[in-house]
Chain A
Amino acid sequence: MIPARRGWFGALLVAALALALLFLTLPIVAIFVDTGPLDLVSSLGEEGALEALRLSLLCSATAIVIIVLVGTPAAYLLAMRRFRGRAAIVTLVELPLVLPPAVAGIGLLAALGPNGILGGVVKDAGLELVLTTTGVILALTFVAAPFYLRQAQAGFEAVDPTWLDASRTLGASEARTFLRVAIPAAGPGLIAGLALAWGRALGEFGATLMFAGSFRGITQTVPLAIYERFSTDFTGALALSAVLVAVSAALLLSVKLLSGSAWLGGAAR
């Protein structure tokens, strides 16, 4: 820890934090300055707004369930085992983190679109992905999963290995050790990853537009609805943005509170 002392370096740190805080909060403050609570409520009454919010919550929640179900064991394996090519796999899994959303959208089309490399397989399986709600979920899963995987892996790596050994020594199976010891102990990391991934999924725009298109009630999530309003109804776009900020902030806050209790729970075990 850096002692809170005077001096030029201390002043520099404070100035840097102040600048960062100002820069990062100003746009969010501006959204709310122009939007009264009444605007928020009335914007939700507008045609398509509630539909977009419902769709955003539904798709992001579904994506998160998929991500947690598949990502938790995958991250556990990456955290626990040392094997050849592990570093390469970790890098590949994290790659979508740095991909521009438009690249993600193009990539999904090239892979799973009707003309994509697996397009025939998708069609034969009777699935329709592009321009459907399923396509939205797929796009959100793709862009958000790495956020969870990364945090979950770090969370598992931070678990004291002696706890896991103790569990095994006491006769618990690998699966039981994973479920009853590793997951609770890594809880705060998993929940933090879940929050990040969910936030990313809620805000997803580019990959959704490219892969799933924009249609009210089917594929038009809140960010796409904001974009549609931007040109003709800036106030409406601002109000809908404020709604998204509020939902995301509520999500982040509740997860922080939850992870606080999960941490206590984990420590008590």
Chain B
Amino acid sequence: MLLVASFTAASACGDDEGAGPERPRLTVSAAASLKQAFTAYGQGFEDASARFSFAGSDELAAQIRQGVEPDVFAAANTKLPDQLFAAGLVEKPTVFAGNRLVLAVPADGAEVASLSDLEQDGVKLAVGSGDVPIGSYTRTVLEKLPAARSRAILENVRTEEPDVAGITGKLTQGAVDAGFLYVTDVRGTGGRLRAIELPAELQPSVAYGVAVVKGSEQPEAARAFIAGLLDGAGAQALGDAGFEPPPGP
């Protein structure tokens, strides 16, 4: 136990010194739904060696509030970056992408074919927990339905997952019949899931916000990373993954 403790301490010190001056290391905390697009973008990013931490946006924001300092914070909404900006923890956020909420079902043998099927007894549904953007967008959609319908759907919720990865996993493993996801997540499963579009009047405006975290030791590289998301390789990677341009105000 003790050996482990002292080795960990020693290696942690070594790690700090080991960061070479040539290519700075850029730490990016990003929403789980950005995983594929950002990983692709990061591999070709030349200003720095990008290292990603993907999780629910709310959890990453909570880490920043607790003093964790990545260089860039990218969230699946604009609320969290705005809140951190108001708290003086990040620089002014930029909206860099849009997305669409869909109803995701297994590609083969799906029991759910439409939103109204979700109201039937025995249908198993996975949603995001109320704090993570995917969960709050889902609740926004359901609130637009008549109360009886949204109640019937909520009664079929079997799990409230902390991020989109959890919902995707429960779906691909057959643990649930349907789940609310971003259209990009469905594309990312390589055909294992199918997206059922939501009626336009229910569709929430899904906008992704990004900001440089205050105290970043690589502000230049961080800004270059964000610039590339708006116009360049990052925007390209986002487009390839199915993200939409930032929605208008």
Complex interface residues of chain B between 175 and 227 (CB less than 8 A to chain A): 175-176
Q: Mark B1-43, 1 if CB is under 8 A from A, else 0.
A: 1100110000000000000000000000000000000000000
- The answer to whether B6 and A113 touch across the interface, beta carbons within 8 angstroms, is no
Q: Which of B91-99, B112-120, B144-152, B161-169 is near enough to bind chain A?
A: B161-169
Complex interface residues of chain A between 97 and 115 (CB less than 8 A to chain B): 109, 113-115
Looking across the interface, which residue of chain B has its beta carbon closest to that of A213?
A: B159
Looking across the interface, which residue of chain A has its beta carbon closest to that of B2?
A: A20
- The answer to whether A215 and B62 touch across the interface, beta carbons within 8 angstroms, is no
- The answer to whether B2 and A209 touch across the interface, beta carbons within 8 angstroms, is no
- CA gap between A213 and B129 in the complex, in Å: 11
- A234-B175 in contact given A19-B6, A131-B159, A215-B159 (Cβ < 8 Å): no
- CA gap between A228 and B58 in the complex, in Å: 10
Please tell me if A230 contacts chain B, counting CB pairs below 8 Å: yes
* Whole-angstrom distance between the Cβ of A134 and the nearest chain B Cβ: 13
Q: Mark A211-222, 1 if CB is under 8 A from B, else 0.
A: 011111011100
Please tell me if A231 contacts chain B, counting CB pairs below 8 Å: yes
Looking across the interface, which residue of chain B has its beta carbon closest to that of A224?
A: B162
Please tell me if B123 contacts chain A, counting CB pairs below 8 Å: no
* Whole-angstrom distance between the Cβ of A213 and the nearest chain B Cβ: 3
Please tell me if B244 contacts chain A, counting CB pairs below 8 Å: no
- The answer to whether B174 and A115 touch across the interface, beta carbons within 8 angstroms, is yes
Other-chain contact of A20, B1, B132, B176 (Cβ < 8 Å): B1
Residues of chain B lying within 8 A (CB to CB) of residue A210:
169
- A113-B173 in contact given A131-B124, A231-B132, A234-B65 (Cβ < 8 Å): yes
- A109-B175 in contact given A23-B5, A232-B58 (Cβ < 8 Å): yes
Please tell me if A145 contacts chain B, counting CB pairs below 8 Å: no
* Whole-angstrom distance between the Cβ of B53 and the nearest chain A Cβ: 14
- The answer to whether A215 and B162 touch across the interface, beta carbons within 8 angstroms, is no
Please tell me if A227 contacts chain B, counting CB pairs below 8 Å: yes
Looking across the interface, which residue of chain B has its beta carbon closest to that of A212?
A: B159
Please tell me if B170 contacts chain A, counting CB pairs below 8 Å: yes
Please tell me if A242 contacts chain B, counting CB pairs below 8 Å: no
- CA gap between A219 and B170 in the complex, in Å: 14
Looking across the interface, which residue of chain A has its beta carbon closest to that of B157?
A: A215
- CA gap between A144 and B169 in the complex, in Å: 24
- A115-B173 in contact given A230-B59, A231-B61 (Cβ < 8 Å): yes
Residues of chain B lying within 8 A (CB to CB) of residue A113:
173-175
Other-chain contact of B175, A17, A24, A213 (Cβ < 8 Å): A213
Looking across the interface, which residue of chain A has its beta carbon closest to that of B169?
A: A210
Q: Chain A: how many interface residues by the 8 Å CB criterion?
A: 30
Please tell me if A59 contacts chain B, counting CB pairs below 8 Å: no
Please tell me if A266 contacts chain B, counting CB pairs below 8 Å: no
- CA gap between A210 and B170 in the complex, in Å: 8
- A231-B174 in contact given A131-B159, A209-B162 (Cβ < 8 Å): no
* Whole-angstrom distance between the Cβ of A63 and the nearest chain B Cβ: 20
- The answer to whether B173 and A109 touch across the interface, beta carbons within 8 angstroms, is yes
- The answer to whether B5 and A231 touch across the interface, beta carbons within 8 angstroms, is no
- The answer to whether B175 and A16 touch across the interface, beta carbons within 8 angstroms, is no
Residues of chain B lying within 8 A (CB to CB) of residue A20:
1-2, 5
- The answer to whether B66 and A234 touch across the interface, beta carbons within 8 angstroms, is yes
- CA gap between A19 and B2 in the complex, in Å: 8
- CA gap between A109 and B175 in the complex, in Å: 9
- The answer to whether A213 and B158 touch across the interface, beta carbons within 8 angstroms, is yes
- The answer to whether B162 and A228 touch across the interface, beta carbons within 8 angstroms, is yes
- CA gap between A19 and B175 in the complex, in Å: 45
- CA gap between A212 and B129 in the complex, in Å: 15
Residues of chain A lying within 8 A (CB to CB) of residue B5:
19-20, 23-24
- The answer to whether A230 and B129 touch across the interface, beta carbons within 8 angstroms, is no
- The answer to whether A213 and B56 touch across the interface, beta carbons within 8 angstroms, is no
Q: Mark A109-141, 1 if CB is under 8 A from B, else 0.
A: 100011110010000000000110000000000
- CA gap between A131 and B179 in the complex, in Å: 14
Query: Apart from A214-B161, A228-B131, what 16 extra A-B contacts exist at CB < 8 Å?
Result: A20-B2, A20-B5, A113-B174, A130-B173, A212-B159, A213-B160, A215-B157, A219-B159, A220-B160, A228-B160, A230-B59, A231-B58, A231-B61, A231-B132, A234-B62, A234-B66
Interface residues of A (CB under 8 A from B): 16-17, 19-20, 23-24, 109, 113-116, 119, 130-131, 209-210, 212-216, 218-220, 227-228, 230-232, 234
Interface residues of B (CB under 8 A from A): 1-2, 5-6, 56, 58-59, 61-62, 65-66, 124, 126, 129, 131-132, 157-162, 166, 169-170, 173-176
Q: List the 5 closest A-B pairs by CB distance, nearest first.
A: A213-B159, A114-B174, A231-B58, A130-B175, A231-B62
